[in-house]
Chains A and B, each alone.
Chain A
Amino acid sequence: MIEVNELSKSYGEVVAVEGVSFAVGKGTILGFLGPNGAGKTTTMRMLTCYLPPSGGQATVAGFDVVEESMEVRKRIGYLPETPPLYLDMTVRAYLRFVARIKGVTGPQLNGRIDDTMEKTGIAHHQNTVISHLSKGYKQRVGLAQALVHSPDVLILDEPTVGLDPKQIIEIREVIKGLAGDHTVILSTHILPEVSMTCEKIVIINGGRIAGEGTPESLIAQLKEGEVLRASIGGPGQEVLSMIRAMDGVIDVAVESGGEEDGVFIITSTPGTDVRDSLARQIVDGGYALRELRGLDMTLEDIFLRLTTEEVKA
């Protein structure tokens, strides 16, 4: 549905986005993850035909964003970082205006507006002037604006910013409900949001893509090894050197503990499971095994690793 090929954008000397490529299939939700200033908004603005790319190409539904911008614009709904609201209009009048300039006409118009207001939970505020709404409701009106013409592709720039936790959950449910019929790209710097709503993730940092894939594949790709957490009763130094000497163990770190008890974080080569042999050795050595479990790498770890240091080749 969306194909991005070596897309770049520079503002004078400043390079905002450089050589970004990715593809999104129909009906998927793609999470666009990156720290502030990474180039998320710039990339989205190029996809929505607001900014021309300095280099590379992007197509939406098979139409080029530069050459066939009108066709692209018919097919996208876009929620910018600050919702583009006319504050002196009522919610209904505003959605009516947006629907009309998006090409919804005649008998469908009122039906579309009602549906969208229902979906985003703003129907009971339809005659309120937008400037009187709270930030959360303004954000919803912004989302409604992007949805009102039922576009194939939705591009949402930080859709949950400024909402309270309950509203965030509601908006996420709305977005999840859109998958299947709509292709969605949403940007965020909130990690749980991505793991909860998105099927695919693109991590962007410093204008370049730092990682791409499903949450699981990203974890597998970046795992340096299997990680175990073990709580062992026994003289700390002895236990440490025993574990170090084991086959397959790359690294051992002491999380807490001292002379008698210790909690150790053990990293072993990928694909090996040292749990059985570790347990045997501990028992053989006369120590007490209190806890032993595998640690999963979280999205947080991946994000930090990808955005704070150079990716290891």
Chain B
Amino acid sequence: MGNFLAVYSKEMRSYFVSPVAYVIAGVFLFLSGYLFRSILMQFNMICLQLGQRAQQMGGGMPALNLNEMVVTQFFAVMDFIWLLIVPMLTMRLYAEEKKTGTIELLMTSPISSVQVLLGKFFACFSLYAIIVSLTMVYFLILEAYGSPDWGPIFSGYLGYLFLGATFISVGILASALTENQIVAVLLSFGILLMFWLIDWSASFAGPTAAKILQYVSFIEHLEDFQRGVIDSRDVVFYLSFTFFCLFLTTRVIESRRWRR
């Protein structure tokens, strides 16, 4: 536990003493804020148009669902931004240690590679969770002027935590495979995009293959959360994906010890 905390606090410190955390949080919040504003303006326009039409033609105003038209829309675009941002958070975790030789310190200290890995994973996950939770402000603004249904918002955020853990584990695995941070970023982009778009090919595949392809897609499982459904199958999917990548990472790191 002590070792885990030592690594965790070292990684957290390293995010916050360098500009990394601030720049990533800043860029992300700017982009997502801009998108949220655009979605909101669009919704506003639709409301206005429908209101005018109702006045001209008579008849009532159709019921517009704030969750469907704003919240779900916003979630759908934010997913993709995370796919671009998370590899930047994870790229240095192992690659830099390998490049500067500090991995030699970790490997020759009485600390297991699992403790190191968990320290790094949870530090990155905490930073991710902090940035994600900052976007909750947008929904508070929504609450001030309308009445969104908070259930799907909360479950959507829960989905983000699971999705984030999965993204981070993929990024860490990529970082452990190389000492070059650019390679680590590209590798994690590649893997994440692949699993993002994999259900596309489901439409051309046979029935069994289609089911498998749909199952391993990141998006499929996220949609449930964003509709307000917390399904244990989705939770199991994200958690097992995360564990698998973290397990592979320990194997990659440990391989130095058994490659004779």
B102 at interface, CB cutoff 8 A: yes
B58 at interface, CB cutoff 8 A: no
Question: A50–B104 contact, CB under 8 A?
Answer: yes
Whole-angstrom distance between the alpha carbons of A88 and B20 in the complex? 12
Question: A88–B108 contact, CB under 8 A?
Answer: no
CB-CB under 8 A from A102, the residues of chain B are 109-110
Q: Tell which of A49, A85, A103 touches B102, judged by Cβ atoms closer than 8 Å.
A: A85
Question: A52–B10 contact, CB under 8 A?
Answer: no
B107's nearest neighbour on chain A, judged by CB, is A50
Place the interface of chain A in its size category.
20 to 34
Instruction: Fill in one digit per residue for B109-124: 1 if any A CB lies within 8 Å of its CB, else 0.
Output: 1111000000000000
CB-CB under 8 A from A86, the residues of chain B are 10, 14, 100, 102
Given contacts A73-B108, A98-B105, contact A88 B258 (CB under 8 A): no
Whole-angstrom distance between the alpha carbons of A264 and B3 in the complex? 67
A15 at interface, CB cutoff 8 A: no
Whole-angstrom distance between the alpha carbons of A85 and B111 in the complex? 17
A142's nearest neighbour on chain B, judged by CB, is B105
Mark out the residues of chain B between 1 and 47 whose CB falls within 8 Å of any chain A CB in the assembled complex: 2-3, 5-7, 10, 13-14, 17-18
Q: Tell which of B2, B7, B109, B260 touches A53, judged by Cβ atoms closer than 8 Å.
A: B260
CB-CB under 8 A from B7, the residues of chain A are 101
Stretch at the interface among A74-82, A160-168, A197-205: A74-82
Given contacts A84-B100, A84-B105, A101-B3, contact A52 B259 (CB under 8 A): yes
CB-CB under 8 A from A100, the residues of chain B are 2-3, 5-6
- Which A residues are within 8 Å of any B CB, using their own CB? 45, 48-54, 69-70, 73-74, 76, 78, 80, 82, 84-89, 93, 97-98, 100-103, 105, 145
* 28 sampled A-B residue pairs with Cβ under 8 A: A48-B108, A49-B257, A50-B256, A52-B257, A52-B258, A69-B257, A74-B110, A78-B104, A78-B105, A80-B104, A84-B101, A84-B102, A84-B104, A85-B100, A85-B102, A86-B100, A88-B14, A88-B17, A89-B13, A98-B109, A100-B2, A101-B3, A101-B6, A101-B7, A101-B106, A101-B109, A103-B110, A145-B105
